[in-house]
Structure formats: C-alpha cells, structure tokens
Amino acid sequence: MTEPRAQWKSKMGFILAASGSAIGLGNIVMFSSNAYKYGGGAFYLPYFIALFLVGIPVMIAEFGLGAFTKKSFPMAMRQAGGRVGEFAGWFAILNAGLITMFYVTILGWVVGMLIRAIAMEDVSQGFAPGNTVWSDLIRGWLPVSAVAIVWGLNILLVSKGTKTIEMAVKVFVPLMWVAMLVLVVVGFFLPGGFDGMQNLFAPEPEVLFNPDVWRGATSQMFFTLSLGFGVMTAYASYLPDHSDHSHNAITTSLLNCGFEWIAGVAVFAMLFAYSQLPASGTLGMMFTVVPSGIAALPFAVKIFGVAFFALLLIAGLTSSISLVEALVASLQDKFQMPRGRTLAICAVVGFLGSTLFALPILIQVPAEGGPPGEAPIGLMLLDFMDHWAFGYGLILVGLVECLVIGWGIGAQNLRKFINQRSRFQLGAWFDVLLKFILPILLTLLLTFSIMDQDILKETVYGTGITTADGAGLWNSLVEWSPKLILGLWVIGCGLGAWLLSGATGADLDDRAVEEEVAEIQEEGGLL
C-alpha cells in the first residue's frame, strides 16, 4: 500500500495555502482592469452577487469534495460521478495546466521587470507614461530564462508537497498583505489619487443590464477564487477529518475578496492620478499603467517599483504552486507514481509551454482603424489561449462539477457531511443551488458567450494576423495559429481527458462513495 496521505500541519497552514492560491495576479490587476472596463462602481453589484451566489457555494462544494473523498480532483470526481466525472476532472486539470503555462510566462515577465527595476538608475524615467520597458522586455529572450527561474522556484516549493508549500505560504502570504497595504497608503499621497479611489465606488446602474458584465463578474470569481481548476479539492484532500469546510470556504473567499478590494483601491488611485484613461487590459495594467503611477510618486520611486513587482511575484508564486500541486497530486493519485518523477514531468512540459508563450518573434497584428501593429507571437498565442481556457474552460468545469456533485454524490449528502463538521449549518438552499440554479445560470452564461463572442462573429477568435513579409510557410503557420490554439485546447483537454480517464490506474473502489453516503444517511436521515 502507499503511504498515508499527507496532511496540513495546522488549520492556519491550510487557510494560508488556500488564500495564497486565491490571491494572485487576478486580485492585483485583473480585478481593477475588469472593474475599470465595466465602469468602476458598476462592477461591484454583479461581483458581490457572484461571490455569494457562485463563489462561496462552489468553494464549499470543492472543499467538501476533497475532504469527503480524500482524493485530488479527477479521482474525486470519479468517485462522485463515475467515468463521466473523471473525464470532467481531467478536463479541468488539463485546462488548468494550460493556464499554468501562461501564468508562469506572465510571472517570467514580472521577474524581468523586477530585474529592470532593481538595475534601473532612475525608475521614475523608466516607468514614466509612454515607457517601453515592458514592450522592449517581451521583444527579447530574457523572459525565456526568467520562465526557467519561475519553474525552478515552483519545483522547489512543491517538492515536498504540503510541507514545503506550508513553509512558503507562512512567509509569503503575510508579506503580500503588508506590501499591498503599503501600496494603498501610497495611493493616498498621489495627487488626485483619492478621487481615483472614489471612482471604484461610484455606481453606474445602467451597466447591470449588460449580460457581458455578469459574465465578466462570474469568470473573475472563478479565476480569483481558484475555482474550476481542481486546486481547492486537492488542497482540501490534505485536511484532517474534522475540519470545518463551510468556515474554511467563507474565510478563504473573504480574505481573497478583501485583498482584491484593497488592491482595487490602490490601482484606481494610480490610474486616475495620472489620467491613464484608455481602458487597459490586465497586462497593460500590470506592466505599464501601475508602473507609470509609481514613477510619478513624489518619493521612494525605486523602492515602490521594486516592491510592486516583488509583490506580484510572491502573490503569483503562491498561486502557481497550488496549480502545480493540483496537477502532480492528480497524476499521483491516478498512477501512483513517485512524487519526484511526476513533478519533473509536469515541470518539463510546463516549461516548454511557458516558453511558447514567451516567444519574442514579431508578427503583424490587425489594429482597428489604423495601420497594423507589431506584437510578439508568444503574447498573441497567450491571448488566444486565454480566450478559450479562461473564458470558457472555467465556467464549463464549474457547470459540470455542480452537476456531478449535485446529482452524483447528491448535494444533500455532501451537505450533511459538511454540516456534521461545521458550526455554520448549510440549509436546503445549498442543494437547490448546486442541482438547479447554478447549472442553469452557468449554461446561460456559456451560451451567451459563445453566441456573442464567437459563433455570431463566424470567425475563430484572433484570425487576421500575418507576418511582416506576408508569404511562405511561416506566414501560413502564423495565420493558422488562432485555429491551432483552439485545436490544442479542444484536443489537448478533450482527447487528453478521455485517454487519462480511460487509462487503468489506481484501484478505485467505486462503491466507496455509495457506502459512505449510506452511512451518512443512516446517521439520522437528512437534515
């Protein structure tokens, strides 16, 4: 038999690890960029509704699933929903693997910027509005070595599973709270910063009728809470038997969203202090808008420049290690391979993928209403993959997991299991939510996205790029790249999940869940 399953040393260790996973690049920059895109104060109503309606319940379900089965995501989903469940579980893990690849690439850019900020003599010049530090960086090969460094750090921090992860989060998570609080204080000192902050809270109710805002808020919720990746289930599978899952889920979600709001306040302050009004995507926010804000500080520019990128790096690392752990644990639970070898395989494949997204080779991209611009191919591929893996993958996984947990194990049985260990008792609303409301809601959102963004446009997202010279094999390859990425996503995740779920692996007593459910029901019927 294999060794007993690893366990977190303390409840604190688990909460730090789970909130460290949740708090990441999504909190510091993606939230502000979304809030900005959808109209500042307009975003927070959909956001809060998504938090209470989708975020917290799904996190309770993911924690509950991991604790109930003591397995990482695919095998846990297998126990809950048979082969179909396992297929969905692997789909989630492979989708998460693709997201890990570009998440690490972005962290590689963060390392590059950190090095520049440390080396730069006058950061206030280098980071000033209109600077090209980042666009120069991604046009060179330095990020590829930076990606290797980030993978190296991940290997180190995940090498002994919960043991090394717990050590890392005990240092990193408190540190990132301190760094974020410092940045907010800085925001207050910026001329106009305070007005910027208020913008985050100025309501714009008409936006609520735009379904796109609701989709944005729901995707943001899945990503920021690390849901739909199988991560929270893997982490919860290392909990001791009598942990309070509802309480853990509520604490983790509120810590995450609290951090996100504080970060939003800081970023909005910088945004408005410098009237950087052109809407900026996540990457623009991270690599140009916020650095410009820092550059204009009246004091200690260098320290804050370095602190901002160091914050992004540690927040991102506590997230990426959870992704890597979820991957490694899934393969280990299925194939019972030794940890070192499994980690090595994941890291090599991951490094190759991250390198692809860091490629600096330049191509021509169409620009609306102007001459085409140039961008590195890695950045474009990242954008295409983000569209599918993030835009659709997470909500798709969320939908299927609600169905598998809701109807497979039975939401009422999981609720009973959770309630037996919990101070806060979940009511029957939890069952209705998992079985009916969330599946319907998520199906509507998915249908809306597909119709609105892809099918009606009758073109694959991202088509229309060419190379500078415009002919030959290389050019056709580039033109085909949006379709290749779509294919990689569908075939990589779909076919991969089909093969992995069909492969013979660890003996799984498929009756285990039925027996456990029966036991739960015997103990005094349903609540």
Contacts with ligand PHE by CB under 6 A lie at: 21-22, 24-27, 223-224, 226, 229, 231, 319, 322-323
Q: Which is nearer to ligand PHE, 92 or 186 (CB)?
A: 92
> What's 466's DSSP letter?
B
Q: Which is nearer to ligand PHE, 31 or 417 (CB)?
A: 31
**Can you say whether the dihedral through the CA atoms of 476, 478, 483, 488 is positive or negative?**
positive
Q: Give the residue among 299, 230, 220 at the shortest CA–CA distance from 263.
A: 220
Q: Which is nearer to ligand PHE, 26 or 408 (CB)?
A: 26
* CB neighbours of residue 252 within 10 Å: 28
> What's 3's DSSP letter?
P
**218 contacts 50 by C-beta, under 8 angstroms:** yes
Shortest spacing between CB 157 and ligand PHE, in angstroms: 13
The tokens for 144 are: 């590829």
**230 contacts 405 by C-beta, under 8 angstroms:** no
Q: Which is nearer to ligand PHE, 79 or 233 (CB)?
A: 233
Shortest spacing between CB 178 and ligand PHE, in angstroms: 19
**281 contacts 379 by C-beta, under 8 angstroms:** no
**Can you say whether the dihedral through the CA atoms of 384, 488, 402, 248 is positive or negative?**
negative
Shortest spacing between CB 476 and ligand PHE, in angstroms: 35
Cite the beta strand spans of 302-412 per DSSP E.
Answer: 362-365, 373-376
Q: Which is nearer to ligand PHE, 319 or 412 (CB)?
A: 319
Q: Which is nearer to ligand PHE, 24 or 143 (CB)?
A: 24
Buried b (16+ CB within 10 A) or exposed e, 296-321: bbeeebbebbbbbbbbbbbbbbbbbb
Distance CA 4, CA 294 (A): 49
Angle between helices 73-119 and 472-489 (to 10 degrees): 130
Q: Which is nearer to ligand PHE, 233 or 419 (CB)?
A: 233
User: Cα dist. 500→81, 91, 330, 331, 338 in Å?
Assistant: 16, 9, 11, 9, 18
Phi, psi of 363, rounded to the nearest 5 degrees:
-135, 165
Q: Which is nearer to ligand PHE, 57 or 505 (CB)?
A: 57
Shortest spacing between CB 359 and ligand PHE, in angstroms: 23
Shortest spacing between CB 264 and ligand PHE, in angstroms: 13
**Can you say whether the dihedral through the CA atoms of 156, 162, 167, 168 is positive or negative?**
positive
**501 contacts 74 by C-beta, under 8 angstroms:** yes
Residue written as tokens 């989903």? Answer: 77
**361 contacts 143 by C-beta, under 8 angstroms:** no
Shortest spacing between CB 168 and ligand PHE, in angstroms: 14
Q: Which is nearer to ligand PHE, 15 or 25 (CB)?
A: 25
Shortest spacing between CB 232 and ligand PHE, in angstroms: 8
Q: Which is nearer to ligand PHE, 226 or 248 (CB)?
A: 226
Shortest spacing between CB 513 and ligand PHE, in angstroms: 26
Shortest spacing between CB 169 and ligand PHE, in angstroms: 13
Concatenating the DSSP letter of every residue in 122-151 gives -HHHHTSTT--HHHHHHTSSHHHHHHHHHH
Q: Which is nearer to ligand PHE, 24 or 57 (CB)?
A: 24
Q: Which is nearer to ligand PHE, 388 or 417 (CB)?
A: 388
Shortest spacing between CB 468 and ligand PHE, in angstroms: 34
* CB neighbours of residue 124 within 10 Å: 16
Residue written as tokens 């509802």? Answer: 246
Residue 373 backbone zone (phi > 0: left; psi -120 to 50: alpha; other: beta): beta
Shortest spacing between CB 350 and ligand PHE, in angstroms: 13
Q: Which is nearer to ligand PHE, 219 or 319 (CB)?
A: 319
**34 contacts 216 by C-beta, under 8 angstroms:** yes
User: Cα dist. 78→394, 501, 507 in Å?
Assistant: 19, 9, 12
Shortest spacing between CB 509 and ligand PHE, in angstroms: 29
Shortest spacing between CB 80 and ligand PHE, in angstroms: 20
3-state secondary structure 307-376: HHHHHHHHHHHHHHHHHHHHHHHHHHHHHCCCHHHHHHHHHHHHHHHHHHHCCCCEEEECCCCCCCEEEE
